[in-house]
Amino acid sequence: MNALSAKARERALYLISPVGLLIVWQVLLMAGIGDRRFIPAPTDIAARFWMLIESGELAWHVGATLWRVFAGFFAGSVPAVAVGLLMAMFRPVRIFVDPLIAAIFPIPKIALMPLLLLAFGFGDASKIALVAIAVFFPVVVNTYTGAANIEKIYWDVARNYGASQTVLFTRIVFFGALPTIFAGLRIALAVSFIVLVASEFVASKVGIGYMIWNSWELLQVDIMFVGIVTVGVLGLLTSVLFNEIERKVIPWKAE
């Protein structure tokens, strides 16, 4: 009972900072401090939010962005996990791949956008490819780190109990690395939103990034805010979803 109310209090505290910020923002604008044409009040943004939801425009942009994020996320993370595991299991693979990762990881992925437009055109494919590339690196590095740091005793047990290379790969190295792989996927999820919204600024006619950039060009500041808030909300929701998946997939991870 007591613990429950303590939890409820914590949850309330959790909400105070964002809600407080919105109230201060609203009050300042209503008091005439700041120009409401450039800095819309939270109520103005909410009203616009509602209008865009009702018209279906927001759903249209969100749908495009989410599709690109998920397609790119999977296209990038699946090969990244495979390559990371191979790097940990076979030294030559690591020696071969390591310099490529070291060289390409630090390149800002958005700088590849013109190249990808040349290769894949103006449609979804170029954006999905960009997300996939951006996702690949944090996931491959985390997978390798996780797989390479599997406790020695698990290798010993596996070998002593007759594990083949295939069993090692699918039952030991993969699962042993899984907690670290998930840490990499979590970073990758945030990264995919970052690069995708940026690419939609310049290379798209649909998507949240396009919506933000377009409203800037038309000086519709309230729509700009709607776009920014939407990205935040999408990030939050996918992260919650991700937590649920992680709990299902890694039940042995101590709570």
CB of 183 vs other proteins, minimal distance in Å: 16
Site for other proteins (CB under 8 A): which residue of 43, 149, 164, 170? 164
Task: Give CA–CA dist 161/146, Å, rounded.
Answer: 22
User: What minimum distance in Å lies between the beta carbon of 167 and other proteins?
Assistant: 5
Q: Give 56: exposed, middle or buried? Use CB within 10 Å, 0-12, 13-18, 19+.
A: exposed
Rounded CA-CA distance 130/165 in Å is 34
Shortest gap between Cβ of 148 and other proteins (angstroms)? 17
Q: By the 8 A CB rule, do 215 and 31 touch?
A: no
User: Distance between terminal CA atoms of the chain?
Assistant: 21
The Cα 133–Cα 186 span in angstroms is 15
CA-CA distance, 136 to 79, in Å (whole number)? 8
**8 is a contact residue toward other proteins (CB under 8 A):** no
Determine, following the binding rule CB under 8 A, whether residue 160 of this chain makes contact with other proteins: yes
Is 92 a binding residue for other proteins by CB under 8 A? The answer is no
**Which residue shows structure tokens 């500041």?**
221
User: Using the rule CB under 8 A, which residue among 167, 190, 236, 237 binds other proteins?
Assistant: 167
Q: Binding to other proteins by residue 245, rule CB under 8 A?
A: no
Instruction: Specify the residue, 89 or 228, whose C-beta has the smaller distance to other proteins.
Output: 89
Of 64-72, 106-114, 130-138, 162-170, the segment contacting other proteins by CB under 8 A is 162-170
- Between 18 and 162, name the residue whose CB sits nearer to other proteins: 162
Which amino acid would we find at residue 51? M
Q: Which residues bind other proteins (CB under 8 A)?
A: 153-154, 156-164, 167, 171-172, 175-176, 178, 250-252, 254
